[in-house]
A and B are shown apart, each in its own frame.
Chain A
Amino acid sequence: MSRGLVPGWSGFAWHRVGAVCLRHLYVMRSSPIRLLEMAYWPTVQMVMWGFISQFFTTQSSWLVQAAGALLAAVLLWDVLFRANLGLSLSFMEEMWARNLGHLFVSPLRPYEFIVALITMSAIRTTIGLLPAALLAIPLFHYNIFAMGLPLVGFFLLLLITGWSVGLGVSALVLRFGLGAESLAWVLIFALAPLSGIYYPISTLPGWLQTVAWWLPSSHVFEGMRVVLTTGTFDWSLWWTALVLDLGYLSLLGGLFLYTFRVARRRGLLLNVGE
C-alpha cells in the first residue's frame, strides 16, 4: 500500500515517510540527554501533582470519590502538550538544520512530510509519558492503565488535538521564521484554562463554556471525569471530540500546506531563520 490509494495523495510512499522519521530517530539516538529531557518534565509534573492530589484527597470528599482525577488530568494534559511539542520540534529541527531545501528537492511530498511529523510526535509523546505513567504506580498507587480502553480513546483524541496545534504552530514558524518558535511552547497553554483539565467545564462562565465546548480537549477531560466518577464511558463526548478533532486537523493541516505553498512563492524554504 504505497501508491496513490488516497485521492489527491498520488505518489504517496511510506519509504519517504520512514526516511524522515529515521532522520529524527537518529537525532534522538545521538543524544541521550534529549531522551531524558522528554521524560523529565512529565515525570516532575506527575510527582508534584501526585503529592498535591494526596493532600487534597484528605480534604475534599469530591476528590476522594474521584481518586486519581488530578493525576489522570496531569498525564492526559501532557499527552496534548507533548503531541503538539513533538510535531513542532520535529519541524523546527529541519529549520534549525537548514535542511528544508534538501528535503524538498527530493521527491518528498509535503503531505508525506506531515505524516512523518505526526508519526514522530506519537513516538516522542509515548517516550515522554510512559515513564511518568509507570512511576505513578509505585509512587502513588495510581495506575492510569486501569482506565483501560477509554484511556486509549482519550489518548488518541488528545494526540490529534496536539497534532492540529503543532501543524498550526509549524505553519506560523514557516511563514514568520524561527523568531516565532516560542509559539510551540506558548500557544498550547491558551487551551489549558478552557479545556477543563482540573475542573468541570460548568465552572467556567456561561459564555466561556460555549467557547470551551468547541475544543475537543474539553470533551476529553469531561469524559475522563465521567469515567473516574461513575465508571461509565460517555460515547457522545468521545464522538463529539473526534468530529471536532478531525475538523481541526483538516483545517490546520490545510493551513500548513497552504503556508508551504506561500513559502515556495516567497522563497522561504531556502531563507529560513529569524
Chain B
Amino acid sequence: MMPDECPPAIRVHNLTKIYSLTPVVDGLSFEVPQGSITALLGGNGAGKTTTIAMLLGLLLPTSGQVALLGHDMATDRYGALAQVNFSSPYVDLPGRLTVRENLTIYARLYGLPRPAERIAEMVEDLELGAFVTRRTSRLSAGQKTRVALAKALINRPRLLILDEPTASLDPDSGDWIRGYLSRYAAETGATLFLASHNMAEVERLCSQVLMMRQGRIFDRGSVSELTERYGRTNLEDVFLDIARGQEKGGPAQ
C-alpha cells in the first residue's frame, strides 16, 4: 500500500489495549497533522505511555489501527520507523558505552551514510562535547537527557515522539531542552508528539493538546481553546479539573 502524499504524521483509529479484561487504552481516535507539536496529557495511569508504546509498535494493540506518516504500523512498520524516533526516561541507552559509541551504534542502525559527520553535528548542536567520551552511566540527569535527545534526532526524524522529555530535570536544563525542541521543529518542519506532566512546557511548545483520562481522549484543542472552555487561565488548572473529575465546562462535543 502506497502511503498518502501528505498523510497525517499520526493517525490513530479506535485504538484499544486490554490487559486482563481491563481496558488501559479504550477506543482512542485522533490525528496529528504534519509539522505540528502535539501534547498528550493525562494523570498517572491515564494510558499515555501505553499509547506511545502502541504508536511505535513496541506494544501490539488489542484492536484498532495506527499509521505513522502514512505507513500502517501493522503491515508496514519498518517503512515508518526509519523516519521516526523517540526518547523516554523509561528506556535507557547502554550505560557501559560512551556517548559517542552509543550515537555511533544508532547512526549505523538507521543506516546513515556518514555517521561521523552526523554525530559531530549532534555533539555541537546539543553541546555534548564536554562528555562525549564519557560513559553514559556516569552522566548527570540533564546530560543523559541531552544524549537521549541526540539519539532521538540522529536520523533526522520527520516524527519525533517524546515521553516526558524534561522529567527530572532542573528548570535550567528543562528550559534548554524546550528551547532546542522548539527550534528543531521550526527549522526542520518535523512533527513532535510528546507526553508530559509539565503544563508550562506544553503551553510553551504545543499547538494542540489531547487530554486523556482513563484510557480515553477526554478533550482536545489548542491551549487557548481548552483554557477558555474550562473557564481557567492556565492549562494546569484545566488539567487538575479533568484529572479530578471537577470540570465545569466539559469537553467539546
Are A22 and B81 in contact (CB-based, < 8 A)? no
Q: Give the chain B neighbours of A269 by CB distance below 8 A.
A: 58-59
Within 8 A of B (CB), among A236-274: 261, 264-265, 267, 269-270
Smallest CB separation, A96 vs chain B (Å): 9
Bound Cα distance A19, B60 (Å): 26
List the one stretch of A64-72, A78-86, A100-108, A124-132 in contact with chain B.
A100-108
Residues of A within 8 A of B (CB-CB), count? 34
Bound Cα distance A264, B84 (Å): 18
- The residue on A at minimum CB distance from B58 is A269
Bound Cα distance A112, B181 (Å): 32
Smallest CB separation, B88 vs chain A (Å): 7
- The residue on A at minimum CB distance from B52 is A270
Bound Cα distance A34, B106 (Å): 24
Q: Give the chain B neighbours of A267 by CB distance below 8 A.
A: 50, 53, 58-59
Contact size range, B: 20 to 34
Instruction: Decide if B48 is an interface residue (CB 8 Å cutoff).
Output: no
Smallest CB separation, B80 vs chain A (Å): 9
Bound Cα distance A267, B59 (Å): 5
Instruction: Decide if A208 is an interface residue (CB 8 Å cutoff).
Output: no
Q: Would you give the 0/1 interface string for A44-70, flagging 1 where the beta carbon is closer than 8 Å to chain B?
A: 000000000000000000000000000
Instruction: Decide if B239 is an interface residue (CB 8 Å cutoff).
Output: no
Within 8 A of A (CB), among B118-139: 135
- The residue on B at minimum CB distance from A18 is B108
List the one stretch of B97-105, B167-175, B214-222, B228-236 in contact with chain A.
B97-105
Are A16 and B101 in contact (CB-based, < 8 A)? no
Contact of A106 among B81, B92, B93, B94 (CB under 8 A): B81
Instruction: Decide if B248 is an interface residue (CB 8 Å cutoff).
Output: no
Q: Would you give the 0/1 interface string for A12-31, flagging 1 where the beta carbon is closer than 8 Å to chain B?
A: 01011011101100110011
Are B92 and A98 in contact (CB-based, < 8 A)? yes
Bound Cα distance A19, B49 (Å): 28
Instruction: Decide if A232 is an interface residue (CB 8 Å cutoff).
Output: no
Q: Give the chain A neighbours of B183 by CB distance below 8 A.
A: none
Q: Give the chain A neighbours of B84 by CB distance below 8 A.
A: 105
Instruction: Decide if B249 is an interface residue (CB 8 Å cutoff).
Output: no
Q: Give the chain B neighbours of A175 by CB distance below 8 A.
A: none
Are B90 and A97 in contact (CB-based, < 8 A)? no
Q: Give the chain B neighbours of A108 by CB distance below 8 A.
A: 109
With most chain B CB atoms within 10 A of its CB, the pick from A31, A106, A270 is: A106
Bound Cα distance A107, B101 (Å): 19
- The residue on B at minimum CB distance from A22 is B105
Given contacts A104-B58, A105-B57, A265-B60, contact A16 B109 (CB under 8 A): yes
Are A102 and B106 in contact (CB-based, < 8 A)? yes
Bound Cα distance A139, B63 (Å): 65
Known: A16-B109, A22-B105, A106-B81; 9 extra A-B contacts, CB below 8 A, are: A30-B96, A30-B135, A93-B94, A97-B93, A97-B96, A98-B90, A107-B78, A109-B78, A261-B60
Residues in chain A within 8 A of chain B (CB atoms): 11, 13, 15-16, 18-20, 22-23, 26-27, 30-31, 93-94, 97-109, 261, 264-265, 267, 269-270
A-B contact pairs, 15 of them (CB 8 A): A15-B108, A18-B108, A23-B97, A23-B101, A26-B98, A31-B96, A93-B94, A98-B90, A98-B92, A102-B91, A104-B58, A105-B56, A107-B110, A108-B109, A270-B58
